[in-house]
Amino acid sequence: MLMTSLRLATVTAVFVAWIATPASAQSADESYYYYKLSTQFRGAGMKLDVFNGGPKNNLTRLEPDQDVSGQFWRIIGNGDGTFRLSTMFRGVNMCLDIFNGGPNNNQPHLVKCGNYTGQLWNILMTEDGDAVRLTTVFRGPSMCLDIFNGGPNNNQPYLAECGNLTGQRWILTRTDAQVDVQAKEPSPVETIPQPAGPVRTAARN
């Protein structure tokens, strides 16, 4: 799929403008596009993807860039400066959250969307404006999304103490894949729109 790689300054400016806009007036222009997420650490050829099945089902990892629905992320503004992240693969009702305790403590995974601070993400421009940091309301501004380097969780993200590390510097690349604006409205208990259909069904590991 043809990708539209945005300069980070442009991406960040869009998000800053979006954050400053009341939820009732937020434009669909950005929320109806899917993004790919990569790090300066692993480079543009490794995108954030989702485990499908097995003991790590719905956890995430960096995988080689390819046209699979687990690498297409939708970023929905909540109108208060925070965002929810979901995938084309699992749909808009599965949001990126954070494990609290246990063997996967501080690792992100997709779960049913709900009123949880682990699902409220901040997208913060780095000091030099070349990337963004991802934090959660749950763990606070001092815990940034980073990447395991080696070991059994190699290339999986986790929240770690913020520092000057390339694994914490994320690049958001807008694709030309759009969410179907005619998609069915969510049920009253949901607070974000329904995703596009049909979802890609490419084979996944």
Residue 119 confidence (pLDDT) above 70: yes
d(CA 68, CA 174): 15
Residue 189: pLDDT over 70:
no
Q: What percent of the chain has pLDDT over 90?
A: 71
Give the torsion sign (CA, 136, 189, 184, 24).
negative
Buried-exposed string 1-19: b where 16+ CB fall within 10 A, e elsewhere:
eeeeebebeebbebbeebb
DSSP one-letter code for 187: P
Q: Two tokens at 98?
A: 């954070």
Strand partners for 122: 135
What is the mean predicted confidence (pLDDT) over 60-84? 96
- The single-letter code of the amino acid at 150 is G
The DSSP 8-state label assigned to residue 53 in this structure reads S
Q: What is the mean pLDDT of residues 105-112?
A: 98
Rounded to an integer, the average pLDDT of 83-90 is 97
Task: Tally DSSP H helices, then E strands, for the chain.
Answer: 2, 12
Q: What is the mean pLDDT of residues 73-98?
A: 96
> For 18-64, how does the pLDDT look when each residue is reduced to its tens digit (9 = 90+)?
443 444 334 445 678 999 999 999 999 999 999 999 999 999 999 99
Q: Which domains does the chain have, with CATH numbers?
A: 8-177 (2.80.10.50)
